[in-house]
Structure 1
Amino acid sequence: MKKIHLLLLCVFAFQGLKAQTKFEVSGIVKDSTDNPIVGAAINLTSMVDTTNATTNLDGIFVFNNIKASEFVITITALGYQPIKRRYINDPKATRIVLDPIILKSDSRVLNEVVVNGTPDVTVKEDTLEYRAGAYKLKENALAEDLLKKLPGIEVDRDGNVTAQGKTITKVRINGKDFFGGDVKTATQQLPADIIEKVQVIDDYGDQANITGVKDGDPDKILNFTIRKDKNKGYLARGIAGGGDKDRYQGSLFAASFNNDQQLALLGNFNNTNANVFSLTQGASSGGGGRRRGGGSFGGGGGSDGLTNVNSIGFNYRDQWGPKVTAYGSYSFSNKDNNTTSTNLNSLLGGGVVLNNNTFDNSNTKNNNHRVNLNIEYKIDSLNYLKVTPNVSFGSSNSIYNSNFTNQSPRTDTYGNSVNNSDNANPNYGLDFLYNHRFGTKARNLSLDGSLNATSSSQDQSYLYIVNNTQTQQLERYQNQIINGDNKNDNVKLRLSYTEPITKTKNLEFNYTYGFARANNNRLVQNSDVSGQDPVFDSDLSNQYIFDYITNRFGANYRVNQKKYNYTLGFAVQPATLTGTNNTNRSVTNIFPNARFSYKFSKTRELSFNYNGRSSQPSYNQLQPITDKSNAQYYTTGNNQLLPEFTNSASIRYNNFDFASGNVLFTNISYNFTKDKIVTNVINYPFPSDSTVLQNTTYQNADGYYTINGFYAFSKPFEDKKYVIRLRGSAFYNNNISFVDNNKNIGKNLILSQRLDFQINPNDWLELSPSGTYTYNRNNNSLNTRANSEVNSFTTSFDSKIYFLKSWVWGTSLDKTFNSGYNSISTNPFIINTYLEKDFFKDKKGSLKLQAFDLLNQSTSLSYTATSTSTILSQSNKLSRYFMLSFTFNISKFAGNTTTIPDMGGERRHYRRDNNEER
Structure 2
Amino acid sequence: MNFKFSIIIILFFFSYSFSQNINIEVKEANGNPISEVNVQLLKHEKTLDFQKTNDKGVCNFQPSQKGNFSLKFSSLLYKTKIVEINTNEKNDFGIVLESQVKTIPTIEIKARPKIASAKEDTIAFNLKAVRDGTERTTEDLIKKLPGLNINENGKVTYRGKSVGQVLVEGNEFFGKNHKMATQNISANMVESIDLWQNYTTINGNRSTALNLKLKEEYKGKITGNIEGNYGTNNSYLGHANLFRIGKLGNLALIADANNIAKDPISFMDFYEMNTQEDIDNSDSSSNVDIPTFLNNDGKVESKDNQFGALQYSKSKKNFSITAFSIFNNAQLNKFSTSKRTVFEGQSMDFNFYEQRTENNRGFLGTTQIKMKKTFADDSFLYYNFGYNPTQDNFNQNIDRYSTDINFYTINNTVKNNGISNFISWNKQLNSSKIIFAFNQMNEDYSGNLNILSNNNLFLTDNNSLFQQYDVNSKRYGLDFYLKNKNKLVNFNLHSGFSYKNEKSELTELISQANENRTLKTYHYINDLNMYKQFGKFELSASLSSHFLNINEYEKHYFEKRLKFQYSPASKANTEVSLEYNSIYKLPTLKLLQYNPLYTKDLYFTQNVDLTPDLISNTDSYKLTFHRAYLEKGSSMFLMLMYDKTKPSFTTNSINYGKFSAMENTMGRYNDRLIFLFASDRRFSKYYTLKTKFTSALTKNVNYISENENISTVQNFELSQKLSTNFKNKPLQFDLGYTFTKGIFEQSFYDTTSKQDNIRLSFGIRANIKKEWIGNILSEYLIQKTGENKLSNFLIGGQISYRKEKSNFEYSLLFSNILNLNSFQYINSYTSQLGTEEASTAALQGYIIGGLKYNF
Q: What is the TM-score normalised by the length of structure 1?
A: 0.74
Structure 2 counterpart of 1:592, from 545, 560, 583: 560
Which structure 2 residues correspond to residues 645-684 of structure 1 after superposition, within 5 A? 645-658=617-630, 660-684=632-656
**2:230·2:848 contact (CA, 8 Å) conserved in 1?**
yes
1:553 to 522, 526, 530: 526
Distance in 2, matches of 1:461 and 1:40, equals 67
Q: Secondary structure at the match of 2:179?
A: helix
**Deviation at 1:171?**
3.3
The equivalent residue for 1:79 is none
Structure-1 residue corresponding to 2:46:
none
Q: 1:385 to 1:158 in 2, by over 3 A?
A: closer
- CA distance 1:649–1:207, shift in 2 (3 Å): farther
- Cα deviation for residue 316 of structure 1 reads 0.5
CA–CA distance in structure 2, aligned partners of residues 355 and 345 of structure 1: 6
1:158 Cα shift? Answer: 7.5
Residue 363 (structure 2) aligned to one of 357, 367, 383: 367
Q: Which amino acid aligns with 1:484?
A: Y
Asked if structure 1 preserves the Cα contact closer than 8 Å seen for 2:145 and 2:633, the reply is no
Identify the residue that residue 256 of structure 2 maps to in structure 1: 268
Match of 2:505 in 1: 521
What is aligned with 1:640? 611
User: Cα distance, 1:822 vs. partner?
Assistant: 2.7
The percent identity for this pair of structures is 16
**Counterparts of 1:732 and 1:518, CA distance in 2:** 35
Judge which range, 849-858 or 630-639, deviates more: 630-639
Say if 2:144 is the partner of 1:178: no
* 1:389-423 deviation line (CA, Å, top 9, x unaligned): 011212232322111113xxxxx121111122333
Choose the corresponding residue for 2:841, options 876, 883, 887. 876
Q: In 2, Cα distance between the equivalents of 1:716 and 1:885?
A: 37
SS of residue matched to 1:368:
strand
**Is 1:246 matched with 2:234?**
yes
Correspondence for 1:6: none
Q: Is the 8 A contact 1:463 1:479 kept in 2?
A: yes
The structure 2 residue matched to 1:608, chosen from 558, 578, 593, is 578
- Equivalent of 1:765, from 731, 736, 745? 731
Q: 1:149 aligns with which of 120, 125, 144?
A: 144
Letter of the 1:855 counterpart:
L
Q: Where does the alignment leave 5 or more consecutive residues of structure 1 unmatched?
A: 1-37, 43-51, 56-60, 62-72, 76-82, 84-101, 211-217, 290-297, 407-411, 469-474, 527-535, 579-583, 685-690, 891-918
Report the alpha carbon displacement of residue 330 of structure 1 after superposing the two structures with TM.
1.1
> How many angstroms apart in 2 are the aligned matches of 1:123 and 1:417?
63
Deviation at residue 831 of structure 1 after TM alignment: 1.0
348-357 or 307-316: which moved more?
A: 348-357
SS at match of 2:343: strand
Question: What displacement does 1:272 show?
Answer: 0.9
Answer yes or no: is the 8 Å Cα contact 2:796–2:814 preserved in 1.
yes
Q: Distance between the aligned counterparts of 1:718 and 1:259, measured in 2?
A: 42
Alignment of 1:696 onto 2:662: yes
Identify if the C-alpha distance between structure 1 residues 658 and 396 changes in structure 2 by more than 3 Å, giving closer, same or farther.
closer
Matched letter for residue 604 of structure 1? T
Residue 467 of structure 1: CA displacement?
8.8
Alpha-carbon spacing, 1:285–1:495, altered in 2? closer, same or farther (3 Å): closer
Structure with higher RCO (Cα < 8 A, 6+ apart) = 1
- Once residues 170 and 658 of structure 1 are traced to their aligned partners in structure 2, the CA distance between those partners, rounded to angstroms, is 22
Task: Tell me how large the CA RMSD over aligned residues is.
Answer: 3.5
Q: Match of 2:87? A: none
Larger radius of gyration: 1
The answer to whether the Cα contact below 8 Å between 2:772 and 2:802 also exists between their aligned partners in 1 is yes
- Per the alignment, residue 329 of structure 2 pairs with 334
SS in 1 for 2:205: helix
Which residue of structure 1 lines up, in the alignment, with residue 478 of structure 2? 493
Spell out the pairing of 1:161-310 with structure 2 (5 A cutoff): 161-167=156-162, 170-174=165-169, 176-192=171-187, 193-199=189-195, 209=205, 222-226=210-214, 231-259=219-247, 261-278=249-266, 280=270, 302-310=298-306
Q: 1:128 to 1:552 in 2, by over 3 A?
A: farther
What is the distance in 2 between the residues matched to 1:809 and 1:209? 42
Offset at 1:160?
5.4
Distance in 2, matches of 1:630 and 1:277, equals 24
Larger CA deviation: 388-397 vs 512-521? 512-521
For residues 596 and 606 of structure 2, the distance between their equivalents in structure 1, rounded to whole angstroms, comes to: 4
Cα separation, partners in 2 of 1:510 and 1:381, compared to 1, 3 Å:
same
State how far apart, in whole Å, the 2-side matches of 1:236 and 1:207 are: 30
Shift of 1:340: 1.6
**1:542 to 1:132, Cα distance in 2 relative to 1, 3 A:** farther
Cα distance in 2 between the residues matched to 1:665 and 1:286:
33
TM-score (norm 2): 0.79
1:649 Cα deviation after fit: 2.5
Please state if 1:837 is matched with 2:841.
no
Cα offset, 1:328, TM superposition: 1.2
Supply the distance in 2 between the matched residues of 1:284 and 1:402 (Cα, whole angstroms): 28
- Report the equivalent of 2:86: none
* Cα distance in structure 1, aligned partners of 2:504 and 2:248: 45
Question: Structure 1 residues 208 and 141, CA, compared in 2 at 3 Å: closer, same or farther?
Answer: same
Contact 1:140/1:889 (<8 A) preserved: no
Compute the displacement of 1:350 (Å): 6.6
Q: Does 1:851 align with 2:806?
A: no
Q: CA deviation at 1:837?
A: 1.6
d(CA) in 1 for partners of 2:739, 2:149: 16
- Residues 724 and 756, structure 1, Cα contact 8 Å, conserved in 2: yes
Partners of 1:169 and 1:183 within 8 A in 2: no
Determine which of 98, 103, 107 is the counterpart of 1:103. Answer: 107
8 A contact 1:287–1:630 mirrored in 2: no
Per the alignment, in what secondary structure is the counterpart of residue 567 of structure 2? strand
- Between the aligned partners of 2:644 and 2:198, the Cα distance in structure 1 is 22
What residue identity is the alignment partner of 1:447? F
Please give the per-residue CA displacement for 1:856-885, whole angstroms capped at 9, x wherever unaligned. 163233333223322232222221221002
Match of 1:417 in 2: 408
**Number of the residue aligned with 1:484:** 469
Q: Give the Cα separation in 1 of the matches to 2:351 and 2:196.
A: 47
Residue 453 of structure 1 aligns with an amino acid whose one-letter code is: N
Aligned residue for 2:683? 717
- How many residues get paired? 736
Q: In structure 1, the residue corresponding to 2:748 is in which secondary structure? A: coil
Residues 567 and 135 from structure 1, CA distance in 2 versus in 1: closer, same or farther, beyond 3 angstroms?
Answer: same
Paired position in structure 1 for 2:417 = 426
Larger deviation: 745-754 or 227-236? 227-236
Aligned-pair CA distance for 1:231: 4.8
Residues 1:626 and 2:622 aligned together: no
Q: For the Cα contact (< 8 Å) 1:207–1:446, is it kept in 2?
A: no
Which sits farther off after the overlay, 801-810 or 761-770? 801-810
Q: Match for residue 445 of structure 2?
A: 456
Does the CA contact (< 8 Å) of 2:773 and 2:801 recur in 1?
Answer: yes
2:546 corresponds to = 573
- Distance, in Å, in 1 between the alignment partners of 2:414 and 2:548 is 33
Which letter maps to 2:581? N
Please list, as runs of the form range in 1=range in 2, the aligned pairs for 1:736-755 lying within 5 A after superposition: 736-755=701-720
Sort the Cα spacing of 1:328 and 1:872 in 2 relative to 1 into closer, same or farther, 3 A: farther
Q: CA deviation at 1:494?
A: 3.0
Aligned to 1:687: none
> Structure 1's 518 and 228: CA in aligned 2 closer, same or farther, altered over 3 A?
farther
Is the counterpart of residue 825 in structure 1 residue 789 in structure 2?
Answer: yes
